Structures are given as C-alpha cells and as structure tokens.
C-alpha cells in the first residue's frame, strides 16, 4: 500500500515492510463488507452534521457521494487496489478522490474498531434474512413432498433397523421441523443482534458522534450498544450466528444422509431427477447424490468455522484485538456455503419421485407390526410385559417357519398363545397400524395433515419476518 492510503501512519517515520503490508492486508473476501460500511458511513456523517463538524451542503455532498460509490461498487465500476489495506481504507480513498481533502472529515469520531464491528453486524443481520429465506425454501420443498405422501407407508427406523411403519410425509416433516426451529433461532438471534456498535469509536465512545442511538435507528437497528468497550471487543453475536448456521447445516446433513440412503439400490425409496444428480466417469449406470454428499461434507467445514472463531476469541483481553479479524472469514464462509448448498438441495428434494410400491412393501417387512400385536393384547387386559413376550414369541414362530403375519392361520396363532385369537388380525394391516397412532404428533395420516397445516403457517410467519427488515439488503453474489 502507499503511505498516502494508510489510516494510521502519522506517527511512523519509516515505511512499512512488504512482509507487514502483505500480512496485514485484509483477506479479499472482506471487501464484501463495502456496502455495509457505506451504509454505516451515511449514518456517521449525519452524526458529524449534528455535531457541527460538517454543514448542510457538506452533508448532502457526503450522502450523494457515498450513494454513488455504493452504486459503482455494486456494478463493478470501482474495485479495491492492492494498496488498500482494508475495506475502510479502500472506501476512504475513493471518497477523498471524489470529494477532495474535505472528504477526510468522515474519519472524525469513529474508528476502524467500531466500523468493523458494525459492518459485520449489518452483514449478518442482512444475511440472516437471506439464509432464512433459503432454509424456508428447503422446508417448503419438504412440506410439498410430505403433502403428496400423507398415506404412503414407509418403515420407520431406530438403530437403523426397521421398527414401526410411518407415513413418508411424517418422515419428511421430521426433517422439516428442525429447520423451522433453526429459522426461529435466527429470529431470536436477530433480537439480540439488533444493537449498533457504531459510535463506540476505538473503545471509549466518540467525542463527536454523541447520538449513536439515532444513528442506530437510521441503520435499521433497534438500539445502540450500552457499553462502548463491549461494543468493539465482543464477538458473541458472530459466534451465535455461526452456531445457528452450523446447527442448520447439521440438521440438513442428517437429511442428506437419509436422501443418500433412500436413493440407493438397497433402499430404492426415491428416484432422483437427472437435473439434480451426477454420474460416474467410469461406471455408466451410476446416478450419484452429489448434492447431498457435498452438503454433508460442507457442514463439517462450517462447524470448523464456529470452533475456529470461538478459539480465536477465547481469553482475549478487552477491548479490540486484531485477532478479531477472523470473525469475517468464518461468517462469510458459512453464509456463502449456505447460499450455494440450500438452493441445490431444495431442488433435489422438490424433484425426487417416491417409489410408493417399494416403500409400502418394506413398511411391514421385518415384523414392524409386532408392537401392534402387543398393544392389541394390552387392550384385552393383559399386562404389557406379558403382551410383549407373546408378541416376541409370535415373531420367533414366524421366523422359524418362514411365515409372515398374513400367512398365519387361526390355529397357528393359538398354537403360539391361546390369547392370540383371530381378532388380532384386525390390527395386522398397514392401514390399521398407521391410523392407530392418532395422538398429537403421531403418524396417523389425519394427524400428519394437521401438522402440515401448522407447519406452513409457521413458515408464513418467517417469510413475513424476512421481508420486514429496515436495514440494508444486499443481493447475494450472482443475483440481481
């Protein structure tokens, strides 16, 4: 960088070493903070105007120039230079180039410490809405598939062993419900994150920006930070944001694991659309669930981002330390991962076809109706401990004689236990088993349909939240 573009060189007699300049320069991805830095700068020049450091004409000059720079950056007409140490240096350089020396007035009353904290918080609050919208799209895709399979039986599993039959819609919504909680976590996080660090300056507060609560509202926050040291020295908002991103990807990763299984020749539950899977360079017959596998892998990397930032912040003294520059790398990586993975996975879920005949056949394989037998016996007044043993004995008899429940005669039932009367056959159908689990949250088709209605209502509330944001919105890279 040149000495003229430094924000801090006044007390230094010599030039910076190339090694320092190279190591100190921001990661190129950090320049994504430019729109948010400009947004904060608009609020800051209004503070300087309130303090009397700039007049009415200068205020309008600043505001119009900042808006013009924002537009030029958005369309790629203005780019950082190698000499720009960070996004703040970059933007101040461009501002002074366009406004002349009095553009340097903007630095009064603020520090890169509160700017950096503010930029990241604005970025996260914006991206929380972007991520929420994408998570909601995946949840909607699951809900749409569930609506088509309210009566499609599949085997439910525990320990990856066939356990009891459920409807596939219930299984899909079991993956959608955690995503809804993740969306609510983002909303809950945003309530705590809606606090502006701007005005904290280096750590003690500003002698010019004396109404940070007004600047906070102008940026779309709910309040200004109570403590200037905490405002620049803490990163718990970033850590919590990363936690929600990581947990969202963990929840998605579990869905991916099941999709990989469902699409396998061993399961044969679903057929993936050609547009959302890949092939093999050597085996012509292959259709690979790459989207699910890539997402499953990337979930581990984002979890690493969370762990890395927590380790960087651990034991740091107050207030600001350069270690905190790691916050942006972690957060940007998590957001960019979700912005790419979620649309691809939503497309995969939205377009797969379910092999209903195969899932129905598997739903009762492996004696998954054994619990129904025990429950029927319990309704006859038999203690469940005994009913459990009788049902287990019936399974042993069927296995020893290569029989299924539908093959059993009345005499064979009685031979296992006299209490197994012919009436037990009334519960040995998939329809009876599914409808019997009719308690709230159960897999009975009517209950799953009710769950789906409530789920969609919750999604609508989240969509309202994503749209009702007063802060800066920046379109993801590659979109308009």
Q: Which residues make Cβ contacts (< 8 Å) with residue 432, sequence separation at least 6? A: 372, 426
Closest by Cα among 87, 93, 106 to 42: 106
Q: Can you tell me which residue has the tokens 């790691």?
A: 326
Q: How far is the C-alpha of 155 from the C-alpha of 175, rounded, in Å?
A: 16
Which candidate in 159, 281, 315, 385 is catalytic?
A: 159
Q: CA-CA distances (angstroms) from residue 365 to 25, 63, 275, 371, 426?
A: 62, 70, 32, 13, 18
- In total, the chain counts a number of residues equal to 480
CA dihedral 328→333→334→340, nearest 10 degrees, is 140
Q: How far is the C-alpha of 146 from the C-alpha of 426, rounded, in Å?
A: 27
Burial letters 135-146, b for 16+ CB under 10 A, else e: bbbbbbbbbebb
Tokens coding 220: 């779309």
Which candidate in 280, 409, 426, 438 is catalytic?
A: 280
Is 88 an active-site residue? no
Q: CA-CA distances (angstroms) from residue 396 to 159, 270, 416?
A: 20, 32, 10
Is 426 an active-site residue? no
Q: DSSP string spanning 335-381? A: HHHHHHHHHHHHHHHHH-EE-HHHHHHHHTTTTTTHHHHHHHHHHTT
CB 120 within 8 A of CB 331: yes
Burial of 161 (0-12, 13-18, 19+ CB in 10 A): exposed
CB 299 within 8 A of CB 254: no
Q: Using the 8-state DSSP alphabet, how is residue 281 labeled?
A: S
- By annotation, the residues acting in catalysis are 159, 280
């Amino acid at each position: 960088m040149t000495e003229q573009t430094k924000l801090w060189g006044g007390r230094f007699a010599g030039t910076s070493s190339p090694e320092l300049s190279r190591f100190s320069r921001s990661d190129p991805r950090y320049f994504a903070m430019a729109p948010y830095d400009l947004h904060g700068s608009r609020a800051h020049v209004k503070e300087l105007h309130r303090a009397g450091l700039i007049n009415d004409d200068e205020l309008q000059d600043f505001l119009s120039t900042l808006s013009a720079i924002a537009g030029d950056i958005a369309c790629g007409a203005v780019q950082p230079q190698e000499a720009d140490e960070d996004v703040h240096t970059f933007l101040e350089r461009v501002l002074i180039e366009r406004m002349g020396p009095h553009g340097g007035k903007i630095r009064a009353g603020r520090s890169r410490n509160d700017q950096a904290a503010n930029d990241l918080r604005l970025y996260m609050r914006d991206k929380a809405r972007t991520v929420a919208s994408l998570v909601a799209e995946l949840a909607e895709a699951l809900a749409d598939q569930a609506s088509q399979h309210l009566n499609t039986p599949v085997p439910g599993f525990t320990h990856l062993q066939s356990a009891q039959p459920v409807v596939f819609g219930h299984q899909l919504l079991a993956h959608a419900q955690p995503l809804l909680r993740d969306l609510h976590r983002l909303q809950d996080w945003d309530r705590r994150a809606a606090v502006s660090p701007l005005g904290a300056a280096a750590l003690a507060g500003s002698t010019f920006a004396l109404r940070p609560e007004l600047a906070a509202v102008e940026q779309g926050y709910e309040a200004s930070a109570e403590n200037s040291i905490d405002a620049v020295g803490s990163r718990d908002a970033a850590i919590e944001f990363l936690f929600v991103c990581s947990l969202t990807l963990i929840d998605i990763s579990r869905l991916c694991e099941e999709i990989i299984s469902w699409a396998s020749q061993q399961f044969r539950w679903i057929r993936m659309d050609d547009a959302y899977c890949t092939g093999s360079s050597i085996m012509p017959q292959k259709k690979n669930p790459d989207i699910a596998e890539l997402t499953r892998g990337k979930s581990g990397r984002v979890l690493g981002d969370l762990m890395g930032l927590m380790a960087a912040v651990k034991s740091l003294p107050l207030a600001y330390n350069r270690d905190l520059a790691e916050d942006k790398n972690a957060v940007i990586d998590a957001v960019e991962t979700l912005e790419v993975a979620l649309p691809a996975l939503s497309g995969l879920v939205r377009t797969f076809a379910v092999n209903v005949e195969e899932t129905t056949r598997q739903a009762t394989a492996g004696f998954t109706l054994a619990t129904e037998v025990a429950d029927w016996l319990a309704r006859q007044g038999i203690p469940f401990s005994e009913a459990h043993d009788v049902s287990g004995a019936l399974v042993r008899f069927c296995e020893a004689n290569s029989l299924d429940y539908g093959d059993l005669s009345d005499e064979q039932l009685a031979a296992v236990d006299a209490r197994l009367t012919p009436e037990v056959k009334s519960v040995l159908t998939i329809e009876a088993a599914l409808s019997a689990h009719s308690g709230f949250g159960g897999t009975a088709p009517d209950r799953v349909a009710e769950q789906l209605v409530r789920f969609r209502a919750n999604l609508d509330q989240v969509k309202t939240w994503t749209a009702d944001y007063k802060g800066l919105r920046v379109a993801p890279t590659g979109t308009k």
